[in-house]
Amino acid sequence: MTTQTPSRPLTGRVAVVTGASSGIGEASAEHLAELGARVVVLARRAERLDALVARIEKNGGQALALAVDVTDAAAVRTAADRVAAELGGADLLLNNAGVMHFGPIEERARAHGQSQIDLNITGLTNAIAAFTPQLVNAAAERGVADLVSTSSIAAQSVVPGFAVYAGTKAYVSHLSRNLRAELGAKKVRVSVIEPGLVDTELQNHVADAGARAFLESSKEMLEWLEPQDVARTVGFLASLPPRVNLPQVTVMPTGQPG
């Protein structure tokens, strides 16, 4: 095994990233690979994952693509079994796949509300259930593992029309606080990242034209984060000495008030 160096502090580690076919997950997978980790990239769009793996490998990294719908608990368990068999198990999970919809609760709650709950809550919890045993094993063997989840500043804010999305993200943040109390003693660092506006495909899924126009127009007033900004935060968390855990990190565009 190659040894860790200051520029490759994650050498020897195995990172699983959900929602890796675009945006924050894609950028994080690339960055974690640059830092030396072998990365496993999960999402539904296989061709996007294959292109990401090819890019990582071209840059000298190692990656494995697993096309998985994380709302399917059995499929996530099968993916975890493959990670155990092929890479010896994960010691970092970036639980990041998510979707955001907008709509007054009485109009959109059923369709969009449920799909957000299915992915942002159930999908995220499926990945935790499938990979946490590997994280605990890795931490016992090597002294550290990381469970990092992507929440949102929406977990702390109140914006009419985003109630279900904000509720799902509050779940991610509070679940993480509670899991930290459970897993910290087992040397698994639990962190939640709450980004503000990041320029990704997330906003493309907002069907409401007015809400999309509002989001788009905010780009004229403030500079949004790039996915790489959040990716660097993930890399920073994971590269800290095992005794250091940042439980909750809010990453905001400088000009976004709240």
The backbone region for 87, taken as left when phi is positive above 0, alpha when psi lies in -120 to 50, beta otherwise, is alpha
Q: Which residues of 153-165 are buried (b: 16+ CB within 10 A; e: fewer)?
A: bbbeeeeebbbbb
Residue choice 13, 15, 17, 19 for contact with ligand NDP (CB under 6 A)? 19
Shortest Cβ 94–ligand NDP spacing (Å): 10
Q: Residue count at the site for ligand NDP (CB under 6 A)?
A: 30
- Contact call for residue 24 and ligand NDP (CB under 6 A): yes
Which residue carries 């890479």 as its tokens? 87
**DSSP per-residue string spanning 122-182:** IIHHHHHHHHHHHHHHHHHHHS-EEEEEE--GGGT---TT-HHHHHHHHHHHHHHHHHHHH
**What CA–CA distance (Å, rounded) separates 81 from 180?**
24
String marking each residue 120-139 x if it binds ligand NDP according to CB under 6 A: ---x----------------
Q: Which is nearer to ligand NDP, 35 or 124 (CB)?
A: 124
Instruction: Tell me how far apart the terminal alpha carbons of the chain are, to the nearest angstrom.
Output: 45
Burial (Cβ within 10 Å: 0-12, 13-18, ≥19) of residue 198? buried
Shortest Cβ 104–ligand NDP spacing (Å): 20
Shortest Cβ 143–ligand NDP spacing (Å): 29
Residue choice 35, 93, 100, 135 for contact with ligand NDP (CB under 6 A)? 100
String marking each residue 178-217 x if it binds ligand NDP according to CB under 6 A: -----------------x-xx-xxx---------------
Burial (Cβ within 10 Å: 0-12, 13-18, ≥19) of residue 115? middle
String marking each residue 66-85 x if it binds ligand NDP according to CB under 6 A: ---xxx--------------
Q: Strands of 14-18's sheet, edge to edge?
A: 63-67, 38-43, 14-18, 92-95, 145-150, 188-195, 248-251
Q: 171 catalytic, yes or no?
A: no
Spot the catalytic one: 165, 189, 230, 238. Answer: 165
Residue numbers 217-256 binding ligand NDP by CB under 6 A: none
Shortest Cβ 110–ligand NDP spacing (Å): 18
By CB under 6 A, which span of 5-13, 65-73, 184-192, 235-243 interacts with ligand NDP? Answer: 65-73
Residues that bind ligand NDP (CB under 6 A): 18-25, 43-45, 48, 69-71, 96-100, 119, 123, 150, 152, 195, 197-198, 200-202
The catalytic site residues sit at 165
